[in-house]
Amino acid sequence: MSSTTKWGILGTAKIARQALVPGIREAAGSELYAVASRNPDSAARFAAEIGVPKSYGSYDSLLEDPEVEFVYIPLPNHLHLEWSRKAARHGKNVLCEKPLGADPDEVKQTFAVAEAEGVTLMEGFMYRFHPQVRRVKELLEWGRIGEPRYFRGSFSFPLVAEDRSDDIRWKEEMDGGSLMDLGTYSVNTVRYLFGEEPVRVIARDRKHPDHTAEAETQAILEFPEGKSATIDSSFLLDDRASYEISGENGRVGAWDTYAPGLGKDTIIEIQKGNVLEQETIKGVNEYALEVEGLVQAARAGEEPPVSPEDSVNNARVLAAIRESAKKREWVEL
């Protein structure tokens, strides 16, 4: 096994070019070695533009390359589980873009495939590697605001302003929609910060008249011992990426949480009564840290930082929110 970790990318998605390519290249000991597309010309152009040694005209061809040890999957949502399983069966460790899947049973089965093949699969929640959320977690564990009781999270951007009917995020049959694209972050964040799973949810959603996938979702999540959360996601509202946790003795708020920009500093606010403090969190390349975290776990044979159980439970909550939005009633977990 080479000391340099060789990565391949399935697809030429925008997030791969803008986020994971620089992330892999900044990560210690990793090399971007290959890219694949269903269109050979598209793969060749991508490889030439960003300087990747190998390009393939099919995903299977890349997976058959013995030099590739790790694979990043930024394909449309409905293809995540299928190609994660295929990559695992080819002996590749996998970083799959969130959401890993919409069905918790299928997500669990996919992790079982990875375990059986002796490879590591991790869902790509890059924000979990950013020092901002880790600092918030630390403050809560220290009791800085007393017992956390309420979480409010928002993530939105005006996808509607782009006026692209071919955008896969507008397609219900591809598991598009604001909940799966954006709301999944808020669901993951509150579960991570509370360290608990919700017991029931209620939600509503709204579609844009020109598209099949939902454009907005709002949900209430109830946790044990009276804790609760409200989350909202939207393709219709202006840019927002923030959350706030209120406790018995104060609140903590975080801004520019999920897309701060590579290396951009972020802010945390801590308020107790009339006293407001701010902490500046130095910017990092969270994608590089994500790559390093997965590689380290795979090399050591350890559970990845975003664990299989975490991903299965996140899918379970997303499925419950979708069911509740359809039924317009509480759904128990």
Q: In this predicted model, what pLDDT tens digit does every residue of 7-50 receive, in sequence order?
A: 999 999 889 999 999 999 999 999 999 999 999 999 999 999 99
pLDDT digits (tens, 9 = 90+) for 130-187: 999 999 999 999 999 999 999 999 999 999 998 788 899 999 999 999 999 999 999 9
pLDDT digits (tens, 9 = 90+) for 247-301: 999 999 999 999 777 789 999 999 999 999 999 999 999 999 999 999 999 999 9
Architecture in CATH of 131-287+316-332? 2-Layer Sandwich (3.30)
Taking 80 as the threshold, does the pLDDT of residue 3 lie above it? no
Tokens of 6: 């060789």
Residue ranges, CATH 3.30.360.10, the chain = 131-287+316-332
What string of DSSP letters covers 223-274?
-GGG-EEEEEEESSSPPEEEEEEEETTEEEEE-S-S---TT--EEEEEEETT
Cβ atoms of 174 and 81 within 8 Å: the answer is no
Residue ranges, CATH 3.40.50.720, the chain = 5-127
Q: How much is the pLDDT for 1?
A: 47
Tokens of 185: 């972050």
Tokens of 49: 């533009």
Query: Distances in Å between the alpha carbon of 160 and those of 15, 18, 182, 237, 319?
Result: 19, 21, 14, 9, 24
pLDDT digits (tens, 9 = 90+) for 56-115: 999 999 999 999 999 999 999 999 999 999 999 999 999 999 999 989 999 999 999 999
How far does the chain reach from its first CA to its final CA, in angstroms?
43
Q: How much is the pLDDT for 261?
A: 76
pLDDT digits (tens, 9 = 90+) for 185-195: 999 999 999 99
Q: What is the mean pLDDT of residues 208-233?
A: 96
5-127 maps to CATH 2.60.40.10: no
